[in-house]
Every structure is written in structure tokens, then in C-alpha cells.
Structure 1
Amino acid sequence: MKVLLRMFLVTLLFVTTQINAQEDKNPNVFLITLDGVRWQDVFTGMDTDLLNSEFTQNKDLLIQKFVGKSTEENREMVMPFFWNTIAKEGQLYGNRNKGSKVDLTNKMLFSYPGYNEILTGKADDVHIDSNDKNYNKNVTVLELANSQDEYKDKVAAFASWDVFPYIINDKRSGIPVNAGYMNAIGDLNEKEQFLNEIQEEAPVIWESVRLDVFTHHYAKEYVKKNHPKVVYISYGETDDFAHGGQFDFYMKSLHNTDALIADLWDYVQNDAFYKDNTYFIITTDHGRGNGVQEDSKWTSHGTDVKGAEHTWIAILGPKVNPVGEVGNGQLFANQIAPTLAKILSLKSDDKSMSAKPINLK
């Protein structure tokens, strides 16, 4: 009897999921950011200058894991999902060696201003000139989505950096934001309870940034339970390892984050609610220096660091023309929010997102 009841409940859940997936034809978007990841590491793979610098502790291990026989092989070894999936099924922008440029429009060139630009579609150097925990006066595209019937209470954000509740302004926007060392709350499943336990027991490397594996799995469990239509995930390890001068950990973290995104895409493509109706937009909040000299030091970014304004964008989704790596052209970070708004068909009288959406066709 118990077995029959269990089979009935499983069948009912499956049918309900299928019906809900068929009823809701509005597209879904996952906006994903990797903090402080340079375009060079995405498009050219292992940086041999940094490999042979003071920032690398275990050169042999990095060579074994990430150095092949060509630039193309190197970058694929570092980010296999980007180059085996996105490069074949989506679009990649920012390889400056091929004339493809993506730049910030804000002049601060560090995290809060960068995330504000990505999320709101405009730079705000007047009000946002630090990483302090001040509530953002600007309205993000996440908040815009949450204000409209099609996406009301179907927006969620997860971040490794604990400043994100302020960047997204969770109090005003009403968007649930799990960031920093926050635990999952509400009616928790077994895995969420376990994540809460081990997050409190795990060593704290940075006081304001948790390890990305927690951010990822908190997000994934929430997605599996609630099926939000707009999800923002911000991975943060890469920037903190770079600031610490740990090139080994930076490269391994970049490789791991690529795998986390691949895991999320695999789930999305095997879930009836998301399959064939979901976009991934992936980018970074700023670049960083390209060497060991003070004005271009790899560990740093900001107005006094050459190249910190250079970023990149990757896009994957059902109506994205699979052109792969794009050559000559200029994009800006402030085009990301308008692109997301166009995909979702959001309505707005606010002219802040006046930048042109990225052409996906």
C-alpha cells in the first residue's frame, strides 16, 4: 500500500511539473558573474608569465592540469564548459586578440560599481564609489522583473560576497538574497539543512566571502524546489585568491567555477520547467592587471591599473545564434541588463537602461 501511494505521489508530482512547464512559456534567465576574472584567462588559458612569477607556488601542478599544446587547448583545459558547450552553442565576447572588446563604463573599476552597472544598465560613479554596505538607490533589472506579474516572486539571488543584499537592495526590491555566510531559511530539505551545518563548521578563509561551493548548492537546491524564473548567481572566490597573490588557487577556482556552471546547465536542460526555455548570461564585474608591474599588477584592479576596465560576456540559450567566439566589435557591461530585460519582455518607463541590448540573432 505504501509503495502504491509513493508511486502515485511521484506520478502526480511529475504530471504537475509537466503541466506547469507547459503553461509558463515566458523565458527564464540565469545571470551569472565570476568576480574579477580577466578576459585573458577565459580566451587564452594559462598565463605563462604569471605561471613563472612569484604568484605561483606549484608550477608543475598547474602545467599538468592546464597547459596543452596550443592556446585553444589551454583554454579548453581551464574552462571546458565554455569551450565545449558555449563556444559551440552560444556566443562569447571579449577576446581582444581578435578585436572583440567588452568594457566597463564606470570609472571605479572595482566590484560594487561593476555589479551596479551589470544589474542596472548604467554606471553611477556619483553615488557608488566604494564597496561599503550602502543600499543601492538604483533599480536593478532583477527588481524590475520582480515588479511585473509574469515574474513576481519568481526572482532570487545567491552570492558569495556579503555585500549583495545592499547591491540588490533586498529590502526595497523584495527579492530573496542569500549571500555571504547566510544560511538557507524556510521549509528546508535535507540537503539544505546539511549545507547550513557544514557552512558553520567549515573554515572561514575570508570574512566577507564564502566559498563558491556553498553559494552554488544553496542556489541549486532553491532552484530545484521553487523553480524561480530569474536567478542571479555571483561566484566570488577568483577575485579574493587573486588579491591574495595565489595564482594557483585562482586558476583552480576558475576551473571549478566552470564546472559548477556546467552542473547548473546540465540540471536546467534536464528539468521540464527550464528545458529549452532558459538563457545563461555570464560575465565579470571587472578585469585586473596583466603582470607584475605596479601599474598593471595582476593582483589589483581599479582606476590606476591598466586593463581593469576590460571584461567579457558569454551567452547561451534557445534563441541565441550559435556563432561561438565573436570577432571584431565593441560591447559594454551596461548592455547586459537591457539584454536581460529584452529576453524577458520587461516593461519600464525608466530610461536608465538606455544602452542597446546585445544582438543574439
Structure 2
Amino acid sequence: MLSSTITRSLWCVLVLALIASGPALPAEMSGVLKTRTVVLIVSDGLRWQEIFTGADPELLNEKNGGIWETERELRREFWRTDPAERRQALFPFLWGTVAVRGQIFGNQTQGSIARVTNGLAFSYPGYNEMLTGHPDARINSNEFGPNPNLTVFEWLNGLPELHGHVAVYATWGAFKDIFNVGRSHLPVQAGWDPPYRGTTSAREELLNRLYQSTTPLEDGDVYNAFLQVPLLDSLPAQQARVLFVGYGETDLWGHVGRYDQLLHSAHLFDHFVAELWNAMQALPAYRDRTTFIITADHGRGSGPVEWKEHGVKQKGSENIWIAVLGPDTPPLGERMHTAPVTQAQIAATVAALLGKDYRQAVPEAAAPIADVLR
């Protein structure tokens, strides 16, 4: 009897030791997650420098920032001597809510690194890495065509309990290829395709007409504000469990060298994220059961000219930022002196927040960001 008791005790100790020292249990086995819906939100090409220090003083002028007659007004709105106050002025929701109740990675001046691993630091390779969990050297152009890789969104949509509850809203038409709609059959509202179909109200018909009669932005992007309306309209009926939202204006204004417009679009991006969060919190299906992951697909250069571009020739373009807000994410705030995180970890993190192990289907995917899961 004593021998049996000792054997059982030793066995229990061994099991506990293995659990403590080994890898985390698959997310399906946790059974304690509160998150029911995950929303992945991207502001294309929005630098970590603006996120963490606000408006760049070197660019608040005509010579470097392309600002003509609005410098005084721009400084009144976004300039503060203290970088912490500047970032709060530019991103009030990110710093007043997300960084207080969630986490944000990527402030390199505080020992927090978030970066892409695809080696190219532009959009399609970045979105592929973000959505599939791994870079793909074949994807070396924004005109690559249909994505051969399985995204976490397509994989989650293939699960019986999530099928039909996955959706994509984005300003850039290329997302139809990035999510490979021909294979995935995901509902993707992207670019200038009119958002309302079938019988429409007068309000919906007006927005459809605006989509059809407005001059497109560079690269064929629709305006962020145009995308926001059908996105918010979809929430009550769609009951999405997995949602992607891609805003594109910050990258556009960077490329054309208009720092004033970049700041305004970044500020509005923060407003749109807050608006989406508040709209979802107002609906019982989403309230206190929704997690936001907010990030950028790539960084940009740093300097009076370099800020306009990104890619392998622009040092620092690999550096991004990642923020997470939701019921399963400890409120650790701005992360400092922590282990690096990568864009490739986002895909498995989306799945893990829903209690799913994406790496069982895609072993080459990077592991979830452990610190954002309780």
C-alpha cells in the first residue's frame, strides 16, 4: 500500500514537472478564454516612431514634411514638448485605453522590438507573414496574385463552429488576392467594390454611388472613412467571430510626402478603431468578449527623406508595433525590456485567443505571443 502511494505521488510530481518545464498546452485545452471574437486591425505603413513619440519635429515643416499652409494649425493640434503627451494627442484611444487595459509592443527606445521577418518590408509579403504565420520568399511583389498559402482566417472559417462567421474589410483591392477569395470563399469587402448588394436603403444606395463616382486614391485604395460605414453596419447582423480590418491611408500619405495628411489620417485611424471598439462593446454578442490586435504591415525609413519610403533599401522598415486589447490579455501596458515579438506570431495569436492551435495545421507558423494570453 505504501509503495503504491509513493508511486502515485512520484507520478503526480513527474507530470506536474513536465507541465511546468515543457511547452504551453495547446490553446484548445485551456478552457478558460473569455474571447469570442478576434478583430485584427492594420494601419498600412504606420511607423512605430509616431505610435510611441507622436508627431516627428523634423517633419513638421514644408521642406521635409510637405506641409504648406497648415503648419501652425498642425502644431496646435499635435505638437507637445513631451513625447508622451504628443502620442496621446495623436492616438488618444491607443494610449488612453489600449495601453492602459492591454499591451503594446515595439518602442525600440525602451527595449521592446517588434519586427517583420520576411526580409522585404512591404505590403503583400507583410500581410502574408501576418496572416499565415510565416514568410514566403515567392511573394516578392504587391502584384503577386492569389496567395498560395493558407491564412489563419481561411483555416478558422473551415472549422464548423466558425464557418460563415469570418469576414474581411479593407481599403486595398489586393486583399482579394491576399486572402485568395477564389479558394477560401471568404467574404472580402475590398477596394472600390460597392459595399451594399441586393435591396438597398437610400443611405446605402448613396454610399454605393459614392464608391462608383469618387476618384480613387493612389494604388486604387478606397478612403478609410468610406470603408468604416459598411464595416459598422455589418456588426449587428453578421455576428463575426473573426474579423480583419485593413486601413490604407497612412501608407499613401507617406509615399506622397504629405506629413500633415499622414498625421490626420493616423489620428482618424485611432478614432475609427475607438469607434469600432465602442460599437462592438454596445452589442451583447461582443461586449467583454472581443479582443483587438492592432498593428502595421511594415515600418518606414527614418529621416527627412527616408520616412517616405520602405523596403529593403530603407533601414528600419522591418520595425513595426503590435497592440492587443481584450478580456484575456493582462493589462501590462507599454512593454519595456521584453523579448522581441514578430509579425509572424500574429496568425497563431489570433487562433489561440479563440482556443485554437493554428500550428497543428501549419507547423511552420510562428508561436503565439505568449504574454498576451493569461
Q: Could you say whether these structures have the same fold, taking a TM-score greater than 0.5 normalized by the shorter chain as the test?
A: yes
Structure 2 residue 333 is the aligned partner of structure 1 residue 324: yes
Q: Which has more radius of gyration?
A: 2
Q: CA RMSD in A?
A: 1.5
Question: Per-residue CA shift, 1:296-336, capped at 9, x if unaligned?
Answer: x0110000101100000010001111111110121111011
Give runs of aligned pairs for residues 104-183 of structure 1, distance below 5 A: 104-125=116-137, 127-183=138-194
Contact 1:148 1:346 in 2 (8 A): no
Report what 2:311 is aligned to: 302
Q: TM-score, normalised by structure 1?
A: 0.89
The CA distance in 1 between the partners of 2:219 and 2:300, in whole Å, is 22
The verdict on how the C-alpha distance between 1:288 and 1:207 changes in structure 2, with shifts beyond 3 A counting, is closer
Report what 1:29 is aligned to: 38
Letter in 1 for 2:254: A
The CA distance in 1 between the partners of 2:351 and 2:217, in whole Å, is 36
Give runs of aligned pairs for residues 200-215 of structure 1, distance below 5 A: 200-215=212-227
Contact 1:31 1:232 in 2 (8 A): yes
Report what 2:255 is aligned to: 243
Report what 1:336 is aligned to: 346
Structure 2 residue 59 is the aligned partner of structure 1 residue 59: no
Report what 2:13 is aligned to: none
The CA distance in 2 between the partners of 1:274 and 1:186, in whole Å, is 25
The CA distance in 2 between the partners of 1:71 and 1:354, in whole Å, is 33
The verdict on how the C-alpha distance between 1:354 and 1:309 changes in structure 2, with shifts beyond 3 A counting, is closer
Report what 1:44 is aligned to: 53
Report what 1:18 is aligned to: none
C-alpha displacement at 1:270, in angstroms?
Answer: 0.9
Question: Per-residue CA shift, 1:112-160, capped at 9, x if unaligned?
Answer: 00000111110112x1000005000001110011000111010000111
Instruction: Give the stretch that moved more between structures: 134-143 or 58-67.
Output: 58-67
What is the DSSP-based 3-state SS (H/G/I as helix, E as strand, rest coil) of the residue aligned with 2:192?
Answer: coil
Question: Of residues 236, 240, 250 in structure 2, which corresponds to 1:228?
Answer: 240
The CA distance in 2 between the partners of 1:272 and 1:225, in whole Å, is 12
Contact 1:120 1:352 in 2 (8 A): no
| Structure 2 unaligned blocks of 5 or more | 1-33
| Structure 1 unaligned blocks of 5 or more | 1-24
Aligned length: 333
What is the DSSP-based 3-state SS (H/G/I as helix, E as strand, rest coil) of the residue aligned with 2:149?
Answer: coil
The CA distance in 2 between the partners of 1:352 and 1:150, in whole Å, is 25
C-alpha displacement at 1:188, in angstroms?
Answer: 5.2
User: Which segments of structure 1 move beyond 6 Å, counting only runs of 4 or more?
Assistant: none
The CA distance in 2 between the partners of 1:76 and 1:301, in whole Å, is 25
Contact 2:166 2:240 in 1 (8 A): yes
C-alpha displacement at 1:193, in angstroms?
Answer: 2.7
C-alpha displacement at 1:217, in angstroms?
Answer: 1.5
Letter in 2 for 1:286: H
Instruction: Give the stretch that moved more between structures: 54-63 or 151-160.
Output: 54-63
What is the DSSP-based 3-state SS (H/G/I as helix, E as strand, rest coil) of the residue aligned with 2:84?
Answer: helix
Report what 1:346 is aligned to: 356
C-alpha displacement at 1:258, in angstroms?
Answer: 0.4
Report what 2:12 is aligned to: none
Letter in 1 for 2:206: F
Question: Per-residue CA shift, 1:261-286, capped at 9, x if unaligned?
Answer: 00000011110010010000000000
Letter in 2 for 1:193: E
Contact 1:192 1:221 in 2 (8 A): no
The CA distance in 2 between the partners of 1:265 and 1:235, in whole Å, is 15
Identical-residue share of aligned pairs (%): 37
C-alpha displacement at 1:184, in angstroms?
Answer: 1.8
The verdict on how the C-alpha distance between 1:26 and 1:188 changes in structure 2, with shifts beyond 3 A counting, is farther
Letter in 2 for 1:342: A
C-alpha displacement at 1:225, in angstroms?
Answer: 2.3
